[in-house]
């Protein structure tokens, strides 16, 4: 699976293409009133949103245009992720699973694009799921290193209320999954420098789970025959954190 480029023109063209493909099947399929809004409505929303984003970097004859505030940028980011989710739902409704996955994958470059505009990211779950799907489709260490970079931009842009993660224990919460998956992607990239960054984040943000993560990572070193430089980093963090607590059931 290829990583979609972080490019506004590509995002607009690809989302329009997917909307058109889904719209053809949508017109012929039986649907009930409780289903998602149709792809035509999604396409209109995407056109409007991307026109607004394109306008952010343009200048008017009287000088630079006013920048949106933090709340507006956050809302635009969440709105775009929602639109792509609606498109994926439309595609699945008419049995177009590949197109649905493609629409979901676009949430990754879109979120990175918004992060580069200064937006905080609050609609995290669809993006984390899309990142996991992309990671599962990659095996080349260079591609995984590229994905790690995008994951890092998303981690840095997550809205503080989510990143603080205070009092949360749900194992499937997106913030936890994002941090652990980024650490796994770093390990699979075979880049010790990336592993250090990702592992430090696990220790900082998920201190209750770090020991178990590194213990399981050490088990994977033998099972998947990782190279020595990868094993050395994993072992260092494993020894630093100590054995994970085990409970009797």
Quick: pLDDT tens for 177-198. Answer: 999 999 999 999 999 999 999 9
Signed CA dihedral, 138, 80, 96, 17: sign only: negative
Select from 39, 12, 34 the least CA-distant residue to 96.
Answer: 39
Give the mean pLDDT of the chain: 91
pLDDT category, 8, cuts 50, 70, 90? very high
- For residues 118 and 44, give the distance between their C-alpha atoms in angstroms, rounded to a whole number: 25
Q: Model confidence over 58-110: pLDDT tens digits?
A: 765 666 667 789 999 999 999 999 999 999 999 999 999 999 999 999 999 99
Most confidently modeled range among 29-38, 44-53, 56-65, 180-189 = 180-189
Burial of 168 (0-12, 13-18, 19+ CB in 10 A): exposed
pLDDT category, 4, cuts 50, 70, 90? very high
Q: Give the model's pLDDT for residue 249.
A: 41
Select from 204, 206, 184 the least CA-distant residue to 194.
Answer: 184
């Amino acid at each position: 699976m290829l990583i979609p480029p972080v490019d506004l023109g590509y995002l607009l063209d690809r989302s329009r293409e997917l909307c058109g493909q889904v719209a053809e099947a949508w017109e012929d399929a039986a649907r009930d009133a409780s289903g998602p809004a149709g792809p035509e409505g999604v396409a209109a929303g995407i056109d409007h949103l991307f026109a607004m984003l394109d306008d952010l970097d343009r200048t008017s004859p009287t000088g630079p245009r006013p920048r949106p505030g933090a709340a507006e940028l956050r809302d635009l980011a969440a709105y775009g992720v929602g639109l792509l989710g609606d498109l994926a739902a439309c595609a699945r409704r008419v049995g177009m699973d590949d197109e649905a996955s493609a629409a979901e994958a676009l949430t990754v470059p879109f979120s990175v694009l918004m992060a580069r505009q200064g937006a905080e990211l609050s609609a995290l779950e669809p993006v984390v799921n899309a990142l996991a799907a992309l990671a599962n489709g990659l095996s080349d260490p260079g591609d995984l290193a590229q994905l790690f970079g995008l994951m890092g931009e998303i981690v840095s842009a997550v809205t503080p209320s989510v990143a603080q993660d205070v009092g949360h224990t749900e194992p499937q919460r997106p913030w936890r999954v994002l941090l652990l998956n980024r650490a796994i992607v770093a390990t699979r990239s075979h880049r010790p420098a990336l592993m250090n960054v990702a592992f430090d984040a696990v220790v900082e943000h998920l201190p209750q789970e770090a020991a178990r993560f590194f213990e399981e990572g050490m088990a994977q070193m033998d099972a998947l025959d990782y190279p020595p430089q990868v094993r050395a980093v994993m072992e260092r963090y494993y020894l630093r954190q100590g054995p994970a607590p085990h409970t009797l059931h």
